[in-house]
Amino acid sequence: MAGSFGIPITIAYVGSGLLIGTVAGGILGKMRLEQHLEQDIIHASESNSGPKTYTFIGRIRYGIDESVQVIRQIWLWVLIGVGIGAFIHNYVPQEMIHSLMEKTGIFSVPIATVLGVPMYGSCAAIVPIAVVLFQKGIPIGTALAFMMAMAALSLPEAIMLRRTMHLKLIGIYFGITTLAIIFTGYLLNALANYL
């Protein structure tokens, strides 16, 4: 990202993401939403609680065992989510997205965020799309809001999260994340001349 957008924009992007993630995590922690996790996730957490001491090798074995258990529980959801995202990503023309964002003025950041939701991509795969949008005249914050929504708010992401969370918690997560992405997009647009 630093190679495509420069160090100042990358620092502003990462800094705002860390700040928003920390604040949102604190708010969610205070809301005590654990009851909205799937029961098998709660029971797995409770069975692993308690004081345990591990050697270095014991920690590695424990980490591998936990990873295998999580993968066994969610692998199907991950495949379904990535499959849906890949299908949508390959059939939505980039020119259509650009023209919509270009014509919407001040509402371009929320619209870019909403347009990113049905798609999915890793951050490494999404950066080139954001670069092209930026090079075609889309403000930096709008292009990055689109990129962030594709990575964090995608429909496949919701499908994967559904394995561990109830719909209410997914809705709260998506709501907070959407507001954070829109805030970051507007912030980066406002700071673009200084970065």
Flag whether pLDDT at 74 surpasses 90: no
Could you tell me the pLDDT band of residue 148, with boundaries at 50, 70 and 90? Answer: confident
| Alpha helices (runs of H) in the chain, residue ranges in sequence order | 2-5, 7-30, 39-47, 56-91, 94-103, 108-116, 123-135, 140-152, 155-161, 167-191
Weakest mean pLDDT among 52-56, 90-94, 149-153: 90-94
Residue 109 pLDDT more than 60? yes
The pLDDT, as a whole number, for residue 123 is 63
Structural domain span for residue 159: 2-194
pLDDT at 28 over 80: yes
* Residue 116, pLDDT score: 80
Confidence of residue 56 (pLDDT cuts 50, 70, 90): confident
Query: For residue 49, is pLDDT > 60?
Result: no
The chain-wide mean pLDDT, for the chain, equals 78
- Residue 94 is predicted with a pLDDT of 61
First to last CA, the chain: 14
Total domains in the chain come to: 1
Q: What pLDDT does residue 186 have? A: 92
Local confidence band at 110 (pLDDT 50, 70, 90 cut-offs): very high
Check: CB of residue 129 under 8 Å from CB of residue 89: no
Query: Is the pLDDT higher at 84 or at 39?
Result: 39
Which whole-number Å values give the CA distances from 168 to 13, 34, 113, in the listed order? Answer: 28, 11, 21
Tell me the Ramachandran region of residue 71: left when phi exceeds 0, alpha when psi lies from -120 to 50, beta otherwise: alpha
Would you say residue 151 has pLDDT above 60? yes
What value does the mean pLDDT take over residues 50-59? 74
